[in-house]
Amino acid sequence: MDPVARAENRVADLRALLHDFREARNRAPALTSPADAVGARGTWTGTAADRLHRENLAPMSGSLPRDLDRAEDAILGEIAHAERAARTARDRATNEPA
């Protein structure tokens, strides 16, 4: 595979990764209340659910959105880098003597 095709494939792969990442993030349960994170809505309530939320889920809920944002930013950064590499590869291929 030539360098241009490799670079363009890398861009396409990273864009697919970003799409999959965003889809997965959108499907993830909220950690705002016990019923949102454990079981079907309304099926898991009471003191055990409240304790699970308070001791396990709530502490994670503060940092998780920031961590997900950082992960998305890292993917976006890789896409930008791959796009620059693809442009460079295309420019080199265009300027090479035949």
Per residue in 4-13, pLDDT tens?
999 999 999 9
Find the helix or strand (DSSP H, E) in which 82 lies.
helix 58-95
55: confidence class by pLDDT, cuts 50, 70, 90: confident
The percent of residues in the chain predicted with pLDDT above 70, rounded, is 83
More confident site: 98 or 83: 83
For residue 63 the two structure tokens come to 């940092």
Say if pTM beats, i.e. exceeds, 0.75. Answer: no
Which sequence spans correspond to the domains of the chain?
A: 3-95
Mean pLDDT of 1-28: 95
84: confidence class by pLDDT, cuts 50, 70, 90: very high
Percentages helix, strand, coil for the chain (3-state, rounded to 5) are 80, 0, 20
